[in-house]
Structure 1
Amino acid sequence: MNGSAVSRAARTEEVRVALYAHFARTGAAPTPQDLAGAAGVTPGEARRALEDLHAHRDVVLDPEDHDRVVMAHPFATVPLGFSVMGRDTLWWGGCAWDSFALPHLLTGEPDVLVATRCPACDTPHAWVVGRQAPPEGVQVAHFLTPAAHIWDDVVHSCAHQRLFCSPDCVDSWLEATGRPRGYVMDLPTLWRLARGWYAGRMERGYVRRDPVSAAAYFAEVGLHGPFWGLPD
């Protein structure tokens, strides 16, 4: 790798870290101008870094406006069914997985309040989610899109990782929408899935899991079956 490529990679990493720090602090996406000031780069370099991060699936950019970050998992800028409230900051939770993951990255928050509505019957639900143990509750999560296809349309996939009152509500929603059954898990399994999935993402040098290490992680937290690329 030549010096120019190294320099571009270094700038991109500085922008990535600045972007996540801004999301954590404010609950909102930074602009290229915000990132330029925080990362010590020009606005043009910040834009190129965002495009590089999008290409490597570290962020999701608005297809019509590459200055706008739609998602930087587990942060989101669009409502996808969840809100996550800390002591002083409100975040959009991109999905059930990401909403439960946020307290594990937000080290300044002892816990957060995750709120949503059941997609089947509109019943409101809220849990205090922390880092020590899963929240209590009989609700279940339903994930529609298999893990191997999440990035085929990542916003659609995240919008359909939802929490329901019960398996009966999942069945009612599937019947009403005509969608195929995905994967259903209880709250402790969801919490374990979220707990370590993004470990290190706020720090320099973070590397996304490859398919092999991802599958090993899924098995470790208690998931199973082809939906997760695992044996039944």
Structure 2
Amino acid sequence: MDTEQVEDVRLVVYRAFASDGAPPSRVDLARRTGLAPTEVDEALRRLHEHRDLVLGPDGQIVMAHPFSAVPLGFSVMGRRTLWWGGCAWDSFAIPHLLPEEDEVLVATRCPGCGAPHAVVVRRDAPPESDLVAHFLTPVDRVWDDVVRACGNQRIFCAETCVTNWLERTRSDRGCVMDLPQLWRLARGWYAGRLDRGYQRREPSAAAEYFHEVGLRGPFWGLPRA
């Protein structure tokens, strides 16, 4: 199997998520790419190994960032499509990735107190909100358990709710940011992901991106400011 065939599968997966809010079936992947079912499985395995998507233990597609096939605390409503947001970061990234979506409605609940929240996320400016986001897992450990890491990138009412949640779950504090900072992080992170030939950022390029959007310190793989 050549790299172009693997890329064909990647594009069908991502574009199906973008248009339908869900991944394609293996039958659809085979039909749309002209590959045999065994070749589709091989392509998905390679994409998983390269961290272009996430497969579950049963081999089913779980995530193709910023899209998710399973609920992880967020729903994202566009003009005609409803997505599961993989995390706070991914939910805020969707309108930046999809040119037809000027804005989306991101809905979630505060893990600290259960209060419901809905935030309009636009492409042209960050939301005005007193809510905060908390990321539990440092970026260099995200892929140790990517589903758990994404499931713990959440939006809270305020820092007090973060503190209460950390005490209740006996978790160490990660990184807290306001929603404008979350918006800046998400804005350009997935640029080009729906295009042929997209390449994920290597660690040095990722660290440079974090620095450019104002994130500092070891949590982001950078020296302390």
Aligned to 1:49: 43
Q: CA offset at residue 39 of structure 1?
A: 2.1
- After TM superposition, the runs of 4+ consecutive aligned structure 1 residues lying more than 3 A away are none
Aligned to 2:28: 34
Q: Of 3, 8, 29, which aligns to 2:2?
A: 8
TM-score (norm 2): 0.97
Give the Cα separation in 1 of the matches to 2:35 and 2:195: 18
TM-score (norm 1): 0.95
Aligned to 1:3: none
| Higher mean C-alpha displacement, 176-185 vs 37-46 | 37-46
Q: Of 11, 14, 19, which aligns to 1:20?
A: 14
Q: CA offset at residue 41 of structure 1?
A: 2.0
Aligned to 1:173: 165
Give the Cα separation in 1 of the matches to 2:99 and 2:31: 24
Q: Report the AA paired with residue 42 of structure 1.
A: A
Q: Of 139, 144, 148, which aligns to 2:131?
A: 139
Give the Cα separation in 1 of the matches to 2:134 and 2:7: 34
Q: Of 203, 209, 215, which aligns to 1:217?
A: 209
What secondary structure sits across from 1:15 in the alignment?
Answer: helix
Q: Of 80, 84, 102, which aligns to 2:76?
A: 84
Q: Report the AA paired with residue 50 of structure 2.
A: H
Q: Report the AA paired with residue 57 of structure 1.
A: R
Aligned to 1:150: 142
| Structure 2: unaligned runs, 5 residues or longer | none
Q: CA offset at residue 42 of structure 1?
A: 2.2
Q: Report the AA paired with residue 202 of structure 1.
A: L
Give the Cα separation in 2 of the matches to 1:204 and 1:130: 25
Q: CA offset at residue 106 of structure 1?
A: 1.5
Query: What is the CA deviation profile of residues 22-59 of structure 1, one whole-angstrom value per residue up to 9, with x for unaligned ones?
Result: 00111011111111222232222111111110010111
Q: Report the identity percentage.
A: 63
Give the Cα separation in 2 of the matches to 1:201 and 1:131: 16
Aligned to 1:129: 121
Give the Cα separation in 2 of the matches to 1:21 and 1:42: 20
Give the Cα separation in 2 of the matches to 1:59 and 1:160: 18
CA RMSD of aligned residues (A): 0.9
Q: How many residues align?
A: 224
